[in-house]
Amino acid sequence: MDYRETGGVDSLDVNLRGAAAPARLRPLDFLLKTRVALGLQPVTAPAVVFVPLGFALGPQVLGLLPRTALAHLDPVVTLALAALGIFIGMGLEFRDAAARRFLAAASVEALVTIGAVTAAALFLMSQWGLRLDLGAGLVAALLGVAASASSAGAPEHAGDETHRIATRIADLDDAISVVAGALVVAAVGASGPPSALHTIGQTVAVGLLGGAAGWLLFERAHSHAERAVFVVGTLALIGGAAEYVHSSPLLAGMVAGLCWKLLPGQADRVIRDDVSRFQHPLVILLLVTAGTLIEFTPLAIWLLAPFIVFRLTGKVLGAWIAARMARPLRTADLAAYLLPPGLLGIALALNFLQVSSSAGASAVMSAVALGTLASELLALIALPGTPRD
């Protein structure tokens, strides 16, 4: 999939630097390579570069991005979340038996990780006696959902069969993470399960209507500029409507992307070509924003440990099951490839923070951002790289 949510190769990269695969991030690479530092050259772990950059620019350090500036960026973050959901929807495959088997394996792997992290966090919070304004259940559930995301990095292994299978599982487990995250977001302002399900129904309707509108408009544009206006307007419609009902732009975007993939015509190609042109700036925006929101509060530090430890546990258990469902593989190999969390976990935490400004939501955002950095660094150790000059 050339529109991976982690900032991988897309049409912009091809135009800039040919068809070469992105280089794996090595220590200090981001200080030595201008294209990486500017976000023009994709890296396997962009969070390692741009989350610390956001923290340095944010109110905790330099103060160049104060809270007031972040409030003005919120609509753009919503647009980025909708675009990320669209890419995830267009990456789903279930038309043949093999694709459905991979989808089932990926879903089980994600659910196992969600269950492991949620249960462990809930148990530990009860043992520690933490008092949360948002509720321990919601905080633990969001922590588990954010931990379930995988990106299967290490592009130097692209020809390896294990990497190919791990990439498919990492792509497909995003769907369960997005749906579970939307349920948690809907539960924040809901008075009960019926109200939360009603919000989810509204979000799906937004995605379907936005998908139908884009399908009718994209191929009927008279010029590239007119088509670009339709694409951006459709993104704004999907993301803005989802935010209006206090739900998930990720889920609305995923539904729209799936519609464009299944409906006749070339709507999926149109949206992929146009949105991929500003994919990297959107990735940078989300990661820098997440970095500025990091706060080293006691609650965030308490939540960080179970996020890292039990995410690793859940990925190993999930990989053990998925390796037998998809194709016989070594559990250790598959689990190592699923260690990189990519961008989706941070995106889910940002979406949660949009609908809840509580201290618990802020602590989850900080724990997920820091846990993503730690998991990416663990992945760089667990995945051996190819020798380089």
pLDDT value, residue 389? 36
Angle, CA of 352, 93 and 257, to the nearest 5°: 50
pLDDT value, residue 160? 67
User: Could you tell me the two tokens for 34?
Assistant: 């201008």
Q: In what helix (H) or strand (E) does residue 60 lie, and over which residues does it extend?
A: none
pLDDT value, residue 153? 59
Nearest to 184 by CA among 140, 151, 148, 149: 140
**Concatenated DSSP letters of 129-176:** T---SS-HHHHHHHHHHHHT------GGGTT-HHHHHHHHHHHHHHHH
Residue type, 83: A
Domains of the chain: 78-382 (1.20.1530)
φ, ψ of residue 45 to 5 degrees: the values are: -125, 75
Distance CA 62, CA 58 (A): 6
pLDDT value, residue 324? 83
User: Could you tell me the two tokens for 379?
Assistant: 């992945």
pLDDT value, residue 383? 65
Q: Digits of tens for pLDDT over the chain (389 positions)? A: 344 444 444 333 333 333 333 444 444 444 434 343 333 444 456 788 889 998 999 888 888 888 788 778 888 899 999 999 998 998 887 777 877 888 888 889 999 999 999 999 999 988 887 777 777 888 899 999 999 988 865 555 555 677 777 788 888 888 999 999 999 999 887 767 888 899 999 999 999 999 998 888 887 777 777 888 888 889 999 999 998 888 899 999 999 999 998 888 888 888 888 877 777 788 888 999 999 999 998 889 999 998 999 999 999 998 888 888 877 677 777 888 888 888 899 999 999 988 887 888 899 999 999 999 998 888 777 665 543 33
**Is 0.95 surpassed by the pTM of this model?**
no
Q: In what helix (H) or strand (E) does residue 355 lie, and over which residues does it extend?
A: helix 344-355
pLDDT value, residue 44? 52
Using the Cα atoms of residue 303, residue 152, residue 255 and residue 12 in order, give the sign of their dihedral. Answer: positive
